[in-house]
């Protein structure tokens, strides 16, 4: 027969052990869940960091290409790693490649990598277009206008992306605006404008200039386009031991000369019947101190340009002049000048990698021309200009103009829009598509 055991001692102990085991299991599950959640959160954080680092690489590449036209032009169907300088950011770094993706279109891939090894890749497509110039004068930094300037034309407006200070009695046919602070009338607050990056080397390609002569500064003299030494040098040219000087009444005309050092033009040559025309590239500074009668003068230099003579065209017309300087440009005197009407320098009057100081009674009265510098401008005296003025207001490295850009005296500038034909050199990089790979 079966007997019913009525002893219940030990059941409480067993129940307690079961409950303890259950609680232990729940605790282990909770800990594991917490650890897993932490790992997931950590991974998500790493992925987000890698994404943001890759985004920074895209932004860096866009700015780099905007100021390095030659790199943009050199893109091929093969991926090219961009040399961007410092690519470290936060707790990681990025690398960027570029490939050509059609006419004026580039494919950029940025890979962001955290210090712990998480990576993310972002693809972006960029296009390039000529920058628009909607106002007669625009500055990236502060602008001070005094005296009695006249700014007119269908695009006869003035804008500063920071502060605009107006005194005197300016006549401005359009608007006078600033994006930060206004002082004086007429002035109003307006959104910031896109101020193009001004890079002198974007405005020319030495390979496109058919130089007729090369003038050496090592004592070996002059050479023609075939590389044969020319003795004596072209008429009017002489080396003084430190620079090449163009002097005399009848210097050789229609030359395209490449010079390895500084250049000075002291000639008073040329005439109404036979004005001089010359294109000069100088690996150094360039100075014009004479009073020549010019048909066309194109100056390209890696250094500074100073024009203190009175350059004039023939028969009372403007001399067509184009200046591209790696550093500062200073123009004084009473020359009658104009931007070239055609050719590779069409519409380009002055471009500088530093400051522009325009003094005196210079006139540009025929062809609308671009005046653009990387840093600041200073206009004084009574210049009469046709065209548009851009002062990017980059970091104040050069000292020809210090502080804010300024206009004083009786400047007269007329701008009827439409400047910056395709390929002139002021470009905008625009993003057409951006996505994560």
Q: Residue 399 is inside which H or E element, if any? A: none
List of residues 6+ apart from 351 with CB closer than 8 A: 198, 200, 203, 323, 324, 325, 370, 371, 372, 373, 425
Q: What is the pLDDT of residue 225?
A: 92
Q: What is the pLDDT of residue 37?
A: 54
What's the distance, CA 425 to chain centroid? 9
Q: 3-state class of 367 per DSSP?
A: coil
List, for residues 263-322, the tens digit of each pLDDT value.
999 988 888 888 888 999 999 999 998 888 888 899 999 999 999 888 887 767 788 889
User: In 3-state terms, the chain is what percent helix, strand and coil (to 5)?
Assistant: 15, 35, 45
Please give the structure tokens belonging to residue 94: 């990025």
Q: What is the pLDDT of residue 335?
A: 79
C-alpha to C-alpha distance for 430 and 105, rounded to whole angstroms? 10
Q: Residue 394 is inside which H or E element, if any? A: none
List of residues 6+ apart from 202 with CB closer than 8 A: 67, 69, 425, 426, 427
Domain boundaries, the chain: 12-131+430-436, 137-422
pLDDT beneath 50, residues of the chain:
none
**What pTM does this model have?**
0.80
Q: What is the pLDDT of residue 25?
A: 76
List, for residues 6-22, the tens digit of each pLDDT value.
555 567 767 777 777 77
Q: What is the pLDDT of residue 40?
A: 52
Q: What is the pLDDT of residue 388?
A: 92
């Amino acid at each position: 027969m079966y007997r019913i055991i009525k002893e219940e001692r030990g059941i409480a102990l067993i129940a307690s052990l079961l409950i303890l085991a259950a609680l232990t299991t729940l605790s282990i599950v909770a800990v594991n869940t917490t650890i897993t959640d932490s790992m997931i959160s950590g991974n998500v954080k790493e992925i987000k960091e890698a994404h943001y680092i890759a985004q920074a690489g895209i932004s860096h590449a866009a700015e780099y290409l905007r100021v390095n036209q030659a790199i943009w032009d050199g893109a091929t169907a093969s991926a090219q790693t961009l040399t961007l300088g410092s690519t470290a950011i936060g707790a990681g770094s990025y690398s960027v490649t570029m490939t050509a993706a059609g006419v004026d279109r580039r494919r950029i891939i940025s890979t962001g990598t955290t210090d712990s090894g998480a990576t993310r890749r972002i693809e972006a497509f960029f296009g390039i277009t000529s920058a628009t110039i909607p106002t007669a004068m625009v500055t990236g930094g502060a602008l001070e206008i005094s005296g009695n300037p006249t700014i007119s034309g269908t695009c006869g407006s003035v804008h500063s992306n920071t502060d605009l200070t107006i005194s005197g009695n300016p006549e401005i046919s359009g608007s006078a605006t600033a994006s930060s602070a206004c002082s004086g009338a007429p002035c109003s607050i307006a959104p910031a404008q896109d101020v193009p990056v001004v890079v002198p080397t974007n405005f020319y390609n030495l390979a496109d200039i058919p130089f007729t002569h090369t003038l050496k500064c090592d004592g070996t003299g002059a050479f023609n386009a075939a590389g044969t030494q020319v003795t004596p040098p072209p008429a009017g040219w002489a080396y003084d031991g430190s620079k090449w000087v163009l002097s005399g009444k009848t210097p050789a005309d229609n030359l395209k000369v490449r010079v390895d050092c500084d250049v000075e033009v002291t000639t008073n040559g040329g005439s109404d019947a036979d004005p001089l025309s010359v294109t000069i590239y100088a690996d150094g500074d360039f100075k014009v101190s004479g009073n020549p009668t010019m048909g066309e003068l194109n100056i390209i230099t890696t250094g500074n340009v100073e024009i203190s003579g009175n350059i004039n065209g023939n028969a009372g017309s403007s001399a067509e002049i184009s200046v591209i300087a790696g550093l500062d440009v200073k123009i004084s005197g009473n020359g009658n000048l104009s931007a070239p009407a055609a050719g590779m320098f069409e519409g380009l009057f002055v471009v500088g990698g530093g400051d522009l100081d325009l003094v005196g009674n210079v006139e540009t009265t025929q062809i609308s021309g671009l005046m653009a510098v990387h840093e600041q401008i200073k206009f004084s005296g009574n210049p009469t200009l046709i065209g548009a003025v851009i002062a990017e207001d980059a970091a104040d490295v050069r000292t020809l103009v210090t502080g804010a850009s300024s206009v004083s005296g009786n400047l007269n500038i007329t701008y009827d829009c439409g400047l910056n034909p395709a390929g002139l050199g002021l470009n905008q990089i625009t993003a057409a598509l951006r996505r994560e790979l």
